[in-house]
Chain A
């Protein structure tokens, strides 16, 4: 051990001597270059992380998320979709803006599968989200109302969503069908269901698992305007291409 220490000391001495031999300007320049590079790296990484540009498409299975994803990307739903088993993850320029002149910033959109068994995937993606689009099937709404409300409730009570005030757009899909409900109806029903959920969940003692944040104002019936993050409702149809509401939402919340 001692031998090694002595060897190391001798090397250090040699290195010092060598450095002293160099002209001082060179050393200063070298040090400056290193410092600047490090600073640059830090600022770039800071800038990148402070502005997430991920939009998350979520919602129940069968709502039309994958169709919406491909509409946004390619302008058509191609040959149709089946139940997704994995997420669709892509960064692209919105199809409607591809003809725009000038630099258009690409958006990163993640389409999370809606199947209940794949719920953990949503938890992975939400922390990086700049905005969440919650796709609701307006045609088949009544039968899936409770499940949709629960899903939405889970999203709205996640700590990351509330802390970062992630905006949520409730997109009522499939409005091109005759039997589709209006967005006002859907909004009211969802508020009612979430209210019920709120009551049943707060009836549980204080150490409850799933609720990370309390929703709404206690004593008043729930309203989307009570959320700390902005919740808006819009309608459209993924299969016909009527997705302008989503595109506006994206443009609004992802800095161009």
Chain B
């Protein structure tokens, strides 16, 4: 049952609300605000739907008038007529809309009621015809129908049977089990509460129209359970397997049965009080580039001429020119496609991941469809401006990334501010960690390093060298120790020594356990290499998509990434697409950009210049 249909302007004023007009109950929470904040403003408006709590939301835009139409319904139901209804509502409302008016109750409510009934009727007919088409004796499971009035009754019954309510195949299968004993053709719905003699309804329609077997049900149930506990299991598994391998210890490899007795490994297990003279760098290498202003003028040097149109439009050059001058051209999907495809290709040449470029283009298309072009504007330039705005929106951080302020806030609370660096092997975590330490030192903060990379040979020595050069304390426990324990102890030590910041280095093997270590909320920075991003994308995807599942089941305090550090920025020319992909997937802002091998090579991300480079 449709909970609510809301019509509002892009500026935020609600024009019509079906809840209010029809007197139904108001929505719990504010799913609409959540939709706007996490989906529409994040340039995911090309997605099919959005879900929050128990609600699923679908939306459509009328870009010319600047209106948004949102339909909210229970997630467990799968209403097929929503898209249809939204399109019809959009059509009707556009006819009665007047920018000066703000109350549409009397006019629109009746229209809406009628449209609603029509849409439902249409959906039922479609289902009936689909049912008639498939010749097999349908199990009563998949094709139930009911009158909209009775749907309200069937819902509590359906709700009783659902375990979690998320998997719709489960729903269909459960009610199938119930209904089977009643025979094939006509049968009563779950209880005889339903008024209609027709078949009881279950909205799990879309999935299986074919035969149903109990084994499939059991398989699905197993999968469901596995999925939910999979993420938690992985985390637990990693924790349990690691100490196992560590206990065995590393033996020297022996080839050809010849025992080699030469001692080759001179690593001292404990702290090395070296006599080596290493130059004490401290703050003498000049200003870190973090504090330098990137004074790039953001004027638009690009002419209209420089924008290529891509493959020739179908309408022909002359007619499109004429229409652009006349200015009454209404944009529709086929017009946008060539321009969007050209933009997408351009983004991909700049190393943006393909699916992200695709999603971005869909989002821009959704926001431009139906818009009227002004006179003397070409389609390609409109698309270009829209894309530029979208990119600017994505790259602008959602919250402020003033690290110094956060450090000061933590200082007041009497605790050190912890930054954990995670990332795939070889992206440059340790190097950039040292750069960040240098920058923090320049601002008169006391820094401690924590060597929690207990896996890679030489990692601890590397950090030790940096610590000696910068003259800051380092907390280390050698190799083959549990990094979570090392980190915890490092933080305790740092708070004892009144250190302001603790920088934690981790191994490249995505140790999720380390990530979840501290209750005092460290800041997690994911280090990503700008040039090569495929594996990093999957890792980030794992961290966000699958971590979210873990959120729901086991760990209530599972952490997500707070910031991104892009490394090796100086090696990529203009292929800056990885920055965009990372920000889009994770929603985290880019805090630092590493652009060289020395201590001062750490910059802030200049959003405007990145956008310009991406669209050049």
Interface residues, chain A, with chain B CB atoms under 8 Å away: 61-62, 66, 70, 74, 78-88, 111, 113, 115-120, 146-147, 150, 196-197, 199-201, 203-205, 207-209
Quick one: which of A83, A87, A111, A117 contacts B393, CB cutoff 8 A? A117
Interface size on B, residues (CB 8 A): 44
Quick one: which of B12, B103, B404 contacts A83, CB cutoff 8 A? B12
A–B pairs, 5, beta carbons within 8 Å: A79-B17, A85-B11, A88-B13, A200-B402, A209-B604
Min CB–CB distance A200 → chain B (angstroms): 5
Q: Give A85 to B400 CA distance when docked, in angstroms.
A: 19
**Which residues of B566-601 have CB atoms within 8 Å of chain A's CB atoms?**
none
Q: Please, which residues of chain A bring their CB within 8 A of the CB of B164?
A: none
- Which has the most chain B C-beta neighbours within 10 Å: A79, A88, A199? A79
Q: Is the CB of A81 within 8 A of B14?
A: yes
Min CB–CB distance B251 → chain A (angstroms): 51
Q: Is the CB of B11 within 8 A of A208?
A: no
Q: Is the CB of A78 within 8 A of B102?
A: yes
Q: Is the CB of B41 within 8 A of A118?
A: yes
Q: Is the CB of B393 within 8 A of A82?
A: no
Q: Give A116 to B402 CA distance when docked, in angstroms.
A: 14
Residue of B whose beta carbon sits closest to that of A62: B33
Which 6 residue pairs across A and B have the least CB separation, nearest first? A84-B12, A88-B11, A66-B12, A86-B10, A83-B36, A79-B14
Min CB–CB distance A159 → chain B (angstroms): 14
A81-B14, A117-B41 given; A207·B398 CB < 8 A: no
Quick one: which of B14, B42, B66, B293 contacts A80, CB cutoff 8 A? B14
Interface residues, chain B, with chain A CB atoms under 8 Å away: 6, 8, 10-17, 20, 32-33, 36-37, 40-42, 66, 68, 102-103, 287, 291-294, 392-394, 396-400, 402, 404-405, 408-409, 442-444, 604
Q: Give A86 to B396 CA distance when docked, in angstroms.
A: 16
Q: Is the CB of A116 within 8 A of B17?
A: no
Q: Is the CB of A207 within 8 A of B292?
A: yes
Min CB–CB distance A121 → chain B (angstroms): 10
Q: Please, which residues of chain B bring their CB within 8 A of the CB of A66?
A: 11-13
Q: Is the CB of A78 within 8 A of B13?
A: yes
Q: Please, which residues of chain B bring their CB within 8 A of the CB of A86?
A: 10-11, 66
Min CB–CB distance B218 → chain A (angstroms): 44
A78-B14, A85-B36, A150-B402 given; A204·B393 CB < 8 A: no
Min CB–CB distance A64 → chain B (angstroms): 11
Q: Give A212 to B68 CA distance when docked, in angstroms.
A: 38
Q: Give A115 to B40 CA distance when docked, in angstroms.
A: 12
Q: Is the CB of A116 within 8 A of B443?
A: no
Q: Give A200 to B12 CA distance when docked, in angstroms.
A: 35
Q: Please, which residues of chain B bring their CB within 8 A of the CB of A196?
A: 405, 408
Min CB–CB distance B320 → chain A (angstroms): 28
User: Assuming A70-B13, A86-B11, A120-B396, what are 10 further A-B pairs, CB within 8 angstroms?
Assistant: A74-B102, A79-B15, A81-B8, A83-B36, A85-B11, A86-B10, A115-B41, A207-B287, A208-B291, A208-B293
Quick one: which of A70, A87, A117, A200 contacts B405, CB cutoff 8 A? A200
Q: Is the CB of A79 within 8 A of B41?
A: no
Min CB–CB distance A168 → chain B (angstroms): 20
Q: Give A199 to B66 CA distance when docked, in angstroms.
A: 43
Q: Is the CB of A205 within 8 A of B32?
A: no
Q: Give A83 to B405 CA distance when docked, in angstroms.
A: 28
Q: Please, which residues of chain B bring their CB within 8 A of the CB of A120?
A: 392, 396
A200-B408, A207-B291 given; A81·B12 CB < 8 A: yes
Q: Is the CB of B40 within 8 A of A203?
A: no
A115-B41, A196-B405, A203-B404 given; A209·B103 CB < 8 A: no
Q: Is the CB of B15 within 8 A of A82?
A: no
Residue of A whose beta carbon sits closest to that of B292: A207
Q: Please, which residues of chain A bring their CB within 8 A of the CB of B13?
A: 66, 70, 78-79, 81, 88
A79-B17, A115-B37, A147-B399 given; A204·B291 CB < 8 A: yes
Quick one: which of A79, A119, A207 contacts B396, CB cutoff 8 A? A119
Q: Is the CB of B103 within 8 A of A78?
A: yes
- Which has the most chain A C-beta neighbours within 10 Å: B66, B68, B405? B405
Q: Is the CB of B442 within 8 A of A205?
A: yes
Q: Is the CB of A88 within 8 A of B12?
A: yes
Q: Give A174 to B294 CA distance when docked, in angstroms.
A: 40
Q: Give A147 to B292 CA distance when docked, in angstroms.
A: 24
A79-B15, A86-B66 given; A116·B103 CB < 8 A: no
Q: Give A87 to B13 CA distance when docked, in angstroms.
A: 11
Q: Give A113 to B442 CA distance when docked, in angstroms.
A: 36
Q: Is the CB of B396 within 8 A of A117?
A: yes
Min CB–CB distance A223 → chain B (angstroms): 20
Q: Give A22 to B316 CA distance when docked, in angstroms.
A: 53
